[in-house]
Chain A
Amino acid sequence: MGLFDTEVGKRRLLTVELPAIEKYNEGRSSQFRVQAKKVRNSLVLTYHLKPCHNTYQLETRLEANYPIIPPITVIKTPIKLCPHLLEGQTLCLWRQSSTREASRWDAAKFTVVFAIQAAWRWLACYEVWHSTGDWPIPDAK
């Protein structure tokens, strides 16, 4: 059963996720706003992030079992093969911190905007790795 199939899923979208996205977009230049579209039974967000030097295009998908299963984020801009990059250009977002608090997904506390922020942090780490060869979160697994 998908996000759009159940009243629980639809309410979560309407009262939690979409307002969080709208708040994120407030005051942001158009290039960096999040666009959200329903694709079959998933919600797909497309957006750009610029952690330091470069701008990257990303896509975050809220699948059928969201929010129990965390969002899946894919980087659309071609990047170098690097640590913490899974198949299909998927970012490994949920094991990359030295504290469990910061590296786990929590369906009760986090919205998809948290995943966007996690993707920003991943890109910042990627740019550091690109320059120095070291991923700056040594406990990331």
Chain B
Amino acid sequence: MMIVQIGVGSGGIIVLDLLMRDPRITQLVLIDPDRYEAHNVHRHLFPADGVGRLKVDLAAEWVKRFRPEMTIQTLPVDVMAADAQATINDLIAECAFGIGAVDTEVAKFHVDALMRRHQRPWTLGEVLSGGIGGWVHAFTPGGACYGCVASHLRRSVTLDHDRPPANYADANATVTETRIPASRSAISVIASLQATCTQELLSGKDIGFTSLLLPLTKVDGIFTESLRPYRFQIPRSPECFVCGANQETLSGGELDAALDQALARLAHE
């Protein structure tokens, strides 16, 4: 069985470490553009002497130590890189399951689109800022997409250039949000949960949720109890513009031509 994993950062490597021990998995594709940096060391499985090397290469070597027979293909590219899309699409078409360990909303939507295109199930793990908890989401063909989930959970996207708005009445009225890195133990818990859910799904079992939120610590105003899981069964939304019924069947040149015609009409309104 072939698995495509996008992201081998501090969370992704733990998911990978657990899943690669599953004998059902015989082929891996690892996608991550980053290099291992000194500031990654305290939260990662790779040793300090790996600093400067590509994470996918270090991850492949890690797997080979335990599963020397595993077939591994590494792609040190951004999953959204235009010139890698053909290759990535081909690999996802071949795989049985996808693992998402990415941390930007744009990347999550993109992975979701790739998996949906090829009708592949996949899981996504997310650790909350400060490691106060985390999410595991499970996406199955025909079920809710990441857009349905993000909409249901009322997620917002932070823009890269998003700054506190200027307030000329009070220049100190807004403060930029501070992000606190999660601890290795918090990352490990959520990543392990993602690996466990993945294995259940690989066995054909119903895990009973689309999204699972696990608080790891009590936080006033956010989590009243630690380690109490919240399960969400989020249905696919028929009105969802991301995965919804408006699936135009045109493609390639016909799609371009239809788009050009529609734009020509609106250019002269």
A18 at the interface (CB under 8 A from B): yes
Q: Which of A14, A37, A101 has the most CB of B within 10 A?
A: A14
Least CB separation from B114: chain A residue = A8
Interface residues of B in 195-247 (CB under 8 A from A): 237, 239-242, 246-247
**Chain A 1-32: CB-based contact to B (< 8 A → 1; otherwise 0):** 10011111011111110100110010000100
Alpha-carbon gap, A114 to B262, bound state (A): 20
**B-side contacts of A52, CB under 8 Å:** none
**Chain B 236-269: CB-based contact to A (< 8 A → 1; otherwise 0):** 0101111000111011000110110011011111
**A-side contacts of B246, CB under 8 Å:** 11, 15-16
Q: Are A33 and B269 in contact, with the CB atoms below 8 A?
A: yes
**A-side contacts of B48, CB under 8 Å:** none
Least CB separation from B81: chain A residue = A1
Q: Are A111 and B266 in contact, with the CB atoms below 8 A?
A: no
Alpha-carbon gap, A106 to B81, bound state (A): 24
Q: With contacts A81-B168, A109-B239 known, is A22 near B157, CB below 8 A?
A: no
**A-side contacts of B80, CB under 8 Å:** 1
Q: With contacts A82-B168, A108-B151 known, is A14 near B248, CB below 8 A?
A: yes
B266's partner among A4, A18, A68, A82 (CB-CB below 8 A) is A18
Q: With contacts A1-B80, A13-B259 known, is A107 near B150, CB below 8 A?
A: yes
* Number of cross-chain contacts by CB at 8 Å: 126
- Please count how many residues in chain A sit with their CB below 8 Å of the partner chain's CB atoms: 50
B53 at the interface (CB under 8 A from A): no
Q: With contacts A1-B82, A14-B255, A14-B258 known, is A108 near B150, CB below 8 A?
A: yes
Interface residues of A in 31-55 (CB under 8 A from B): 33-38
Alpha-carbon gap, A35 to B151, bound state (A): 29
A95 at the interface (CB under 8 A from B): yes
Alpha-carbon gap, A8 to B106, bound state (A): 13
B39 at the interface (CB under 8 A from A): no
Alpha-carbon gap, A10 to B113, bound state (A): 13
Alpha-carbon gap, A124 to B227, bound state (A): 46
**A-side contacts of B269, CB under 8 Å:** 25, 30, 33-36
B165's partner among A14, A22, A67, A84 (CB-CB below 8 A) is A84
Q: With contacts A105-B156, A108-B240 known, is A10 near B259, CB below 8 A?
A: yes
- What band does the interface of chain B fall in when counting residues whose beta carbon is under 8 Å from A? 35 or more
Least CB separation from B159: chain A residue = A69
Q: Are A107 and B241 in contact, with the CB atoms below 8 A?
A: yes
Least CB separation from A34: chain B residue = B269
Q: Are B106 and A65 in contact, with the CB atoms below 8 A?
A: yes
Q: Are B159 and A83 in contact, with the CB atoms below 8 A?
A: no
Alpha-carbon gap, A87 to B168, bound state (A): 13
A18's partner among B106, B168, B255, B263 (CB-CB below 8 A) is B263
Q: Are A85 and B259 in contact, with the CB atoms below 8 A?
A: no
Alpha-carbon gap, A81 to B167, bound state (A): 10
Q: Are B166 and A83 in contact, with the CB atoms below 8 A?
A: yes
B147's partner among A35, A69, A108 (CB-CB below 8 A) is A108
**B-side contacts of A8, CB under 8 Å:** 113
Q: With contacts A10-B255, A15-B248, A16-B246 known, is A35 near B157, CB below 8 A?
A: no
B163 at the interface (CB under 8 A from A): yes
B154 at the interface (CB under 8 A from A): yes
**B-side contacts of A94, CB under 8 Å:** 156
Least CB separation from A88: chain B residue = B161
B255's partner among A11, A108, A110 (CB-CB below 8 A) is A11
A residues near B (Cβ < 8 Å) are: 1, 4-8, 10-16, 18, 21-22, 25, 30, 33-38, 65, 67-70, 81-87, 92, 94-95, 100-101, 104-111, 141
B residues near A (Cβ < 8 Å) are: 80-82, 85, 105-106, 109, 113, 145, 147-148, 150-151, 154-157, 159, 163-169, 173-174, 237, 239-242, 246-248, 250-251, 255-256, 258-259, 262-263, 265-269
